[in-house]
Structure 1
């Protein structure tokens, strides 16, 4: 059977020993009261919630699924009670603004808790994740009246949030959306249209759902520059904050999906529903991207979490399952066979999982660090650098975390052999739940285009050079790790050469960005994980005990068996667009 224990020791290692989170938090006014003692207490409570309340509902929720009946969506047994416990304990507002009832915890902390949520119950985790993202967009772009009315009950968990972008005819190309917003003359708008694939668009977990809806005004410019963002409550809110009449928004159906079956994925119909403008007219896409960038990092954590729970289950199975003898002779001569962990290929699979999971966890903390600096630093130059790094790293985090997360869950399933394909062991659910993370919140191909086109080529590689300079500076500090430093330096040089090549090619070849983007993102992600593994390896120097020995052994595996893959990605980027584009469409 599947098992999960929150990786508290590794979380503590990453934050305290690798990134010295205490020093960062104490340097900024917004986080000055946060320290590792408080963080560890939060993680311990979060682990109890995830292990004791949410993980036991994971398989049953998958089997029962959400149910739809004439516009009403019911979540699986136990979800409503678990959500009540989650909300009452203050978890919804963990990262929320303290001025509206949130707890104001730093992102470096909250990414670790989010990983626990996704590992224990991905379907459940999506409900509060969408709420947190909606709150962030409203906080950043909404009027003070909207913030005062909607943020406190959302942080309390009494109300939840959804993000309504996609329509039946448009997903990535939002500029061709048809949902309309017509001014009513009293400061509100009539919202009419249909949205699809809306996570948490309807459910029974709390008393109101606050939809953030993209729509176009009657005189809006064509394309994405004509999109505005509106707040549309499921239940109208009276002046005193109490709930009033039902708004003209209704769930038309829910999707029947490959995975995340206990997460309601809804078709939402807005039939002249009352909405309120968030931010400026025709600037809605920028406002929504505040939420989407949060969600992209959050969905990346889904990949890490599912990779972790799959690894823990596969590790336990490999230690227990006996099949054949070790190549070097019997390890357990008193038994009929040896545990499968003696076999090199099983170790390859487990170590690959572990290397991806722990490298991803460190990289998540690294992105969280830059988000905290961008939000809390008083140094204008430092803040500018942090914002550039966040923009550069977000598509890498979303795509690379989720690609490697699916890889990890498949490897975990493979360790189980035939039992991994059978539902009762739980491994096939992790694969199914992980698959969607590569698709929603912008497919990983779109993330790669965003990285290559907007974040690298558009500024001539300037943002990348910030990352390169930081890694080079760290390489100079790593005495006693000559072999690993040399290997990472080579990967970084290849990434730099690939960057310069695509920047130069893009000026004359319009296909250069698209042709290079996915391989470039993989090269970037693998190099970034190498940076993380070197930082972790440096933090283990002079330390003793099984934890540090295991970390060093996994680092050794990463550098010698995984990082060399960077050479293949480099070669593919440098091949240019010709191998992709020289075949006519009719020859496919």
Structure 2
């Protein structure tokens, strides 16, 4: 009963009218030949794959889930998943933004970002299988030895093999310094890996011939804590020199987690019983190498929630236009019917516009960040690459936490629009809520993202990264401040920019006296920072829409209405968040633990 239409028009607006993706990409040597026609064609075909192949499997995959054969340790994905993956590989989608040296198409990360948004809308659980593979590809591409790269990257690029990241253990989640998995060096240069991992997304399945696990473990001489972690590649089947598969490696799925959502993806408990692995990067430097994959995953989780926000919104709008209940307080709007469509009611519109504003604002931020990532990877200018890297670092925790928080709110609102039908499974809305809630937790809880933003990305460098982004905001405010029709967007943006600067200084001063002040403020602070980024992009989108509203295209009229809604109804949340930040540590810590 649910439906999904790829938001190609809005993607094209962000890519071409807001961000001039073609011009930005053409300035990068590897993408000098890219053009808008190519971008649009790829996204149109990607949208067809998402909506026609993946979307029909979303509800059935959720109902069926994954099945573990405990005797063989093999996992069967839901019906249709394996066939869809074969179509994905046949279509060349895994290689879209991969290095041509390993069989990739070498297209921009930005295109991959848009493709994955659509696939996440269509079927997040399925999309996690290739999504984790792409993260493993990136980690090996950045830190693998030439031998490991030649052995694994072509197969990951083609999609013949998939990948995972094996971090979490039963006794430690985010605090990886506590992990106990051991790696014993062997005479042939390999290692024997022994230990247990949990919560491993796509950890075992029947979609591909081999699974390449990236595993964090400790060498015998490892120092305690996170400085003693090394990274290893541990394949399910050991590759032979000719690329064919050899013997089964003793890395087994011993259980599947029973989750509240994302049922179609196998979240595996993994046991390594002296499994053969090879070191990736330097000994005891595994966490730095794994952060390549972790940061990719954090951007990916934000993208998952962006996809859920979009599909939930589409379905809620369709329902609100069709469902008739009561009359508008100001009198009948559909006098030919026994009641009015619920879309006439103000609070229904507020819920719908909240989801729409979060989806379109999130899309602008995500695509912008992907363009910065392309610049970081491909610019020939060192300073430009570093500036882009700094901005990606700043925005990554915001994308992960702010967009997933917003998706939880948006999908809940969209379910509410359906009333009693919202929690009935056949409509599909309760699945989006369940899936969205998980995204706030994994790949580093949103509290961890908030601590990362405030502690590492803002205060640790004296606000350098934040100030660089703030300069872009300030320049836009200066350029557009003289425009009368932009005042409703520029004034609140400028005001919030000033408040963020003052708030950051205030928290920094408090933290020098007591570092726990960072923990007290971080979650609220990230949400304020997220609104600053959204306000910047919504103001920019409003500018484009104002310039083009004379065309008569209703797209620009809708964009302006949504921008005005965002600034009037959603941005004011920052006032309460700033007050909460300023309340500091005392209200949280004053009560004795025994009183809880």
Query: Under a length normalisation based on structure 2, what TM-score does the superposition of the two structures give?
Result: 0.98
- For 2:55, the equivalent position in structure 1 comes to 55
Q: How much has 1:182 moved relative to structure 2?
A: 0.5
Q: How much has 1:353 moved relative to structure 2?
A: 0.5
1:568 counterpart (551, 559, 576): 576
1:524 aligns with 2:529: yes
Contact 1:143 1:278 in 2 (8 A): yes
What SS class does the counterpart of residue 507 from structure 1 fall into?
helix
Deviations 1:157-178 (A, max 9, x none): 1100000000000111111111
1:534 aligns with 2:536: no
- For 1:577, the equivalent position in structure 2 comes to 585
1:411 aligns with 2:413: yes
Q: How much has 1:106 moved relative to structure 2?
A: 1.5
Contact 1:461 1:503 in 2 (8 A): no
Contact 2:55 2:123 in 1 (8 A): yes
Q: How much has 1:328 moved relative to structure 2?
A: 2.0
Structure-2 separation of matches of 1:33 and 1:420: 47
Q: How much has 1:430 moved relative to structure 2?
A: 0.4
- For 1:549, the equivalent position in structure 2 comes to 557
1:502 aligns with 2:517: no
Contact 1:93 1:132 in 2 (8 A): no
1:152 counterpart (139, 154, 160): 154
Q: How much has 1:573 moved relative to structure 2?
A: 1.1
Structure-2 separation of matches of 1:526 and 1:374: 24
Structure-2 separation of matches of 1:334 and 1:540: 35
Deviations 1:7-37 (A, max 9, x none): 0000000000000001111101022122211
2:371 counterpart (357, 369, 372): 369
Structure-2 separation of matches of 1:416 and 1:26: 45
Structure-1 separation of matches of 2:276 and 2:202: 19
- Name whichever of 242-251 and 28-37 sits farther off: 28-37
Contact 2:546 2:560 in 1 (8 A): no
- For 1:18, the equivalent position in structure 2 comes to 18
- For 1:33, the equivalent position in structure 2 comes to 33
Structure-2 separation of matches of 1:403 and 1:252: 32
What SS class does the counterpart of residue 571 from structure 2 fall into?
helix
Structure-2 separation of matches of 1:529 and 1:105: 27
1:485 counterpart (465, 485, 490): 490
Question: What pairs with 1:404-483 in structure 2 (closer than 5 Å)?
Answer: 404-478=406-480, 479=483, 480-483=485-488
Q: How much has 1:414 moved relative to structure 2?
A: 0.2
Gaps in structure 2 of 5+ consecutive residues: none
Question: What pairs with 1:186-205 in structure 2 (closer than 5 Å)?
Answer: 186-205=188-207
Q: How much has 1:505 moved relative to structure 2?
A: 1.2
Contact 2:511 2:518 in 1 (8 A): yes
2:303 counterpart (301, 304, 307): 301
2:182 counterpart (180, 183, 201): 180
- For 2:339, the equivalent position in structure 1 comes to 337
- For 1:276, the equivalent position in structure 2 comes to 278
Q: How much has 1:107 moved relative to structure 2?
A: 2.1
Structure-2 separation of matches of 1:262 and 1:384: 39
Segments of 4+ in structure 1 off by > 3 A?
none
Contact 1:162 1:210 in 2 (8 A): yes
Q: How much has 1:302 moved relative to structure 2?
A: 0.8
Q: How much has 1:95 moved relative to structure 2?
A: 1.7
What SS class does the counterpart of residue 218 from structure 1 fall into?
coil
What SS class does the counterpart of residue 551 from structure 1 fall into?
helix
What SS class does the counterpart of residue 206 from structure 1 fall into?
coil
- Name whichever of 200-209 and 493-502 sits farther off: 493-502
1:513 counterpart (509, 514, 518): 518
Structure-2 separation of matches of 1:363 and 1:344: 28
Q: How much has 1:410 moved relative to structure 2?
A: 0.3
Q: How much has 1:575 moved relative to structure 2?
A: 1.4
Contact 2:99 2:106 in 1 (8 A): yes
Structure-2 separation of matches of 1:165 and 1:23: 39
Structure-1 separation of matches of 2:517 and 2:262: 36
- For 1:211, the equivalent position in structure 2 comes to 213
What SS class does the counterpart of residue 106 from structure 2 fall into?
coil
Structure-2 separation of matches of 1:146 and 1:33: 31
Q: How much has 1:529 moved relative to structure 2?
A: 0.5
Contact 2:454 2:518 in 1 (8 A): yes
- For 2:239, the equivalent position in structure 1 comes to 237
Q: How much has 1:542 moved relative to structure 2?
A: 2.6
Structure-2 separation of matches of 1:445 and 1:418: 32
What SS class does the counterpart of residue 338 from structure 1 fall into?
coil
Structure-2 separation of matches of 1:463 and 1:506: 19
